[in-house]
Amino acid sequence: MVVGYAGLRWYGPINFELYLPKSWFSEEYAARPEKCGIPGHVGHKTKIEMSIELLRSAVDGGKFKGRWVGADSWFGH
């Protein structure tokens, strides 16, 4: 998931995080996160949770000073 900025003089990504499907944290895939090097404290987040956290982090960190936010239509739903 990526939070990007587009303005008159500059555009590009300002924050990002890898989406991990909920199934990766089920019994069936229990070994997958460790095998892929995902730290034990990382868990599943919905795309909505991720987008809010990424945007909040960008705003709080002074990376995003825009007045408007756009998103794709609830990620295809």
The pLDDT of residue 74 is 61
User: Lowest-pLDDT range, 13-27, 40-54, 61-75?
Assistant: 61-75
Return the percentage of the chain with pLDDT > 90, whole number.
36
Number of domains within the chain = 1
pTM value > 0.85? no
Q: How far apart are CA 25 and CA 72, in angstroms?
A: 26
**Cβ contact 57:45 at 8 Å:** no
Q: What is the pLDDT of residue 73?
A: 63
**Res 48 pLDDT > 80:** yes
Q: Higher pLDDT residue, 52 or 73?
A: 52
Element (H, E) at 61: none
Domain containing 8 equals 2-76
